[in-house]
Structures are given as C-alpha cells and as structure tokens.
C-alpha cells in the first residue's frame, strides 16, 4: 500500500508542467464582456482567428479586468509566428532580441503580439547565475502558460467566445487575494530576477498576499538583481513607482530586503528622517495623481528620490570652498552617474531632473528682474512643486514656498511691490564731478 502511494506521488508531474486541460471559465464567472476589451485588441484577435490561428488577450489585461481595474494596454498571445503575424497587419513591426514579438498598430493603439513560448530545456542560453539570455523558441499554449511568472498572469481571454482559459487556477488565486508563482520559486527567480520586483508591485497594486513559497526566497536572492541590465531595472521601477501604489511598493521593497543595492537612493535616503519624509511625500503625491488620472513626470519623481544625495554632495563641495552654483552642477552630475550603474535613466529624463534641481537656488532670490524672469522658465511649475515638497518636509522654510505661491498668482503691479530689496547691490557713490559741483555750491563767496 505504501509502495503504491509513493508511486502515485512521485509519478505526478510538477505544477508548472501539469498535463491537465485548462479550465474554460464562462462569462458569468469572470465577468469580462467583449465590449470591455479595446477595439484594437478585438480587431487583432479577430484578424488572427479569421486567418486560422489561435489568438487571445493575455496576462495583465485579463487579470486587471477580472479585478475591476481598467487595463493600460493589451497583450495578445497567438500560435502564429512573428513573420506570420507581420504578414497579416500592414502597420506592424517585429522587435526584440531575447524573444521576438510584433508591435501591431491599430489606430492610436499599439498591441504587443507574442507567439506561444516553449518550455526551457538544456539548450536554453543562460548566464552563470541561471538568468535566461536568449529565448526565441516557440511552443504550445500549455507551454506558454507554464512559462508565465504568476498564476494570475497565465489567463487567456477569447473575445469571440468570451471565455477565459485558466491553466494554473489564476482566477481562484485572484479571488482569494493570493499571489502564487508558477513552478519552483528559486528556479523562476534565477531565470529572471525582475520577477521579484514584479511580485512586490502586483501584490501592492492588487492587495494580494504573496504565497509563502514565493516570498521566502526573495530576501536571500535579492543580490541577483545586480546581474539584470540597468535598462530592464529602470523599466520595472517606472511601472512600480507609477502604479498608483508607490508608497506601499517601497514599504514592501524594504520589508523584503530588495531595496539594498538596487537603488542607492533608497539605501541612504530612507534611513534619514528628513530624507524619508521628503521621499514619502513625493511618492504619496504621485500616487494621488495616478489614481486621479492626472499626468505624471518620471523626471520630477526621480528628481525627488535623488535630491537628498545631491544635497549631501553639494554641502560637501561647498565646505571644500567650491563656488555654490558650479558645485551644485558637479554634485548633480556625480549623483546621476552613480545612479546610472543601477538604473539606466534616459538622457531626456536626466535633463528634466537637472532642470528642476538647477532652479532651486534661484527660488532663494526674491528681488530684481531675475525673479520675474524665473516665472517664464519652461520648468518653473515643476521646480515650484519641488519647492513645496522641500518646505513640507522641513528642508526649507514654509514662508519661502508661501511667498512664491502668492507671487506667481499676483498681477504685475503686486509682484513689483512684493520684490524684496536687493542686498547684493552696492550703493552707488556719487561721481567726483558731482561732488566737486556740490562742494562749489556750498563755498561761501569772498568778502
């Protein structure tokens, strides 16, 4: 009897490669009507299906729709190869090295269409740490589902039949507020360490509890993030910081030990009371704007996250006798260069960051024409919002922020009246000619 039981246990395939058929979940259970899908995603699926291929909306869009969240974009999974997809859509292009996908343009929408991926095998190219380097092998839909990171992302929605194919009980996990990884957690994190960041972001965004088997290895394997290209880390951090739940994400990063080494700004700043308050105010403000559907700026957010490092560097330089403004620019460059080793901040965003920082000393001056000209600067509003955060955190006096709030809303006459005397200007001495003339006027006539 024991032998029979052991045979049954050890002959069972692991969850990631289970041979069971997917659950076909009907509309009444998942609640996604085809009208909920973007027109471009529907047209893309219909075109592929009419050509004889399988085509599904997959991953995050399906997950978010079931959770009652409007998706930001839509991904399509199909058994058509990239070349076959490219042939069906005039406005499309093949991109990617590690795994080729097709960008299909439908009106203003850009859909990411990927071919079902095969399971990893001995021929899969990996680095010495186990991270997958090249992955251009196609497979079945079941293989593709097993390759996805979390069960809630292995969901396939057919807009024609209005059914969801669920290979790994993702819908149940979503309903039960649990984030489970597909396969053996340590192996999956080695394949792609960014999955650890993704686990933090998704759990914070959806209010999920990370399954203990998926959570336990994270702290021990956090060092694997050092092997991830800086550009990939930057892309994932943008998603995390602009998820609308950045404050909770950062808290969870710290709880899981993922902030150390990943972001020098979080290593240092969050361990200093004023720096932590400043960062949390910035993240909270960003969360509010994201949830309200307002515009957000990566340049502004990263300028707040890195500011404390600039301040420390700047103060050190001034103590060494360096001139104030050149010292600030040197500090800015050094901090951005250091951060580039972990995050590949784009040149455009770096330019925005520097513009915001460079404006801060100019807010200290409240006299003369330069003060009026500051209002005309393209980045004035961002710089002013940055000043408000500095005042709210206690770094500068609130009186300074209040002055600029009143000054920018005042009319021209009121602004002139608000300008303070310029103490840097020396009193002009009367010319020698006038002095002599004045003296001559005071000379008494001869007797």
Catalytic residues: 73, 75, 149
Enclosing H/E stretch for 436: helix 432-442
DSSP for residue 258: -
Give the C-alpha separation, 292 to 175, whole Å: 25
Cα separation values, 150 from 12, 56, 154, 375, 446, Å: 21, 18, 7, 49, 107
3-state secondary structure of 259: coil
Q: What residues contact 135, with CB distance under 8 A and at least 6 apart? A: 98, 99, 117, 120, 124, 125
Output the six-digit token pair for 238. 């943008």
Range 366-386 burial, b when 16+ CB lie within 10 A, else e: beeeebeebeeeebbebbbbb
CA atoms of 2 and 105, how far apart (whole Å): 59
Residues β-bridged to residue 150 = 181
Dihedral sign, CA of 11, 12, 17, 21? positive
How far is 295 from 286, CA to CA, in rounded Å? Answer: 9
Other CB atoms within 10 A of residue 400 CB: 16
Query: Residue 158 burial by CB count (10 A; 0-12/13-18/19+): exposed, middle or buried?
Result: middle
Query: How many residues are listed for the chain in this entry?
Result: 447
| Contact yes or no for 116/140 (Cβ under 8 A) | yes
Q: Read out DSSP for 187-208?
A: HHHHH-THHHHHHHHHHHHHTP
- β-partners of residue 101 are 95, 114
Residues with Cβ within 8 Å of 247's Cβ and at least 6 positions away in sequence, in order, are 280, 283, 284, 287
Q: What's the Rg (C-alpha) of the chain?
A: 30
C-alpha–C-alpha distance, residues 168 and 215, integer Å = 18
Written as six digits, the tokens of 106 are 């439908």
Give the single-character DSSP code of 281: H
């Amino acid at each position: 009897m024991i032998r029979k039981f052991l045979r049954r246990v050890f002959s069972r395939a692991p969850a990631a490669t289970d041979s069971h058929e997917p659950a076909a979940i009907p509309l009444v259970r998942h609640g996604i009507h085809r009208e909920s899908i973007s027109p471009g995603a529907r047209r893309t699926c219909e075109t592929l299906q009419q050509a004889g291929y399988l085509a599904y909306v997959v991953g995050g869009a399906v997950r978010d729709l079931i959770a009652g969240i409007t998706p930001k974009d839509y991904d399509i999974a199909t058994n058509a190869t990239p070349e076959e997809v490219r042939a069906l859509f005039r406005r499309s292009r093949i991109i990617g090295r590690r795994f080729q996908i097709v960008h299909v343009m439908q009106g203003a929408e850009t859909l990411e269409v990927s071919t079902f991926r095969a399971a990893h095998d001995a021929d899969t190219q990996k680095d010495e740490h186990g991270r997958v380097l090249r992955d251009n092998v196609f497979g079945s839909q079941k293989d593709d589902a097993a390759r996805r990171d979390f069960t809630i992302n292995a969901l396939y929605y057919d807009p024609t039949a209005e059914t969801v194919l669920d290979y790994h009980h993702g819908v149940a996990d979503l309903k039960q507020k649990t984030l489970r990884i597909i396969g053996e957690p340590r192996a999956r994190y080695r394949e792609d360490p960014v999955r650890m960041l993704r686990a933090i972001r998704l759990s914070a965004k959806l209010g999920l509890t990370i399954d203990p088997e998926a959570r336990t290895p994270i702290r021990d394997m956090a060092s694997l993030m050092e092997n991830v290209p800086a550009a990939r880390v930057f892309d994932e951090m943008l998603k995390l910081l602009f998820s609308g739940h950045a404050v909770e994400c950062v808290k969870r990063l710290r709880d899981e030990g993922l902030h150390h080494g990943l972001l020098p700004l979080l290593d240092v700043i969050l361990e200093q009371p004023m720096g932590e308050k400043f960062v949390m105010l910035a993240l909270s403000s960003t969360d509010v704007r994201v949830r309200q559907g307002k515009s957000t700026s990566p340049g502004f957010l990263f300028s707040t996250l890195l500011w404390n490092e600039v301040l420390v560097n700047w103060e050190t330089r001034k103590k060494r006798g360096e001139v104030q403004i050149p010292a600030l620019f040197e500090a800015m460059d050094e901090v951005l260069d250091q951060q580039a080793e972990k995050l590949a901040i784009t040149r455009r965003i770096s330019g925005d960051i520097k513009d915001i920082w460079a404006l801060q000393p100019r807010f200290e001056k409240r006299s003369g024409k330069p003060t009026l000209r500051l209002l005309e600067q393209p980045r004035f509003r961002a710089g002013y919002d940055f000043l408000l955060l500095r005042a709210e955190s206690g770094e500068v006096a609130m009186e300074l922020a209040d002055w600029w709030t009143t000054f920018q809303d005042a009319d021209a006459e009121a602004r002139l009246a608000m300008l303070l005397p310029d103490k840097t200007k020396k009193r002009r001495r009367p010319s020698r000619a006038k002095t002599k003339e004045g003296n001559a006027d005071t000379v008494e006539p001869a007797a």
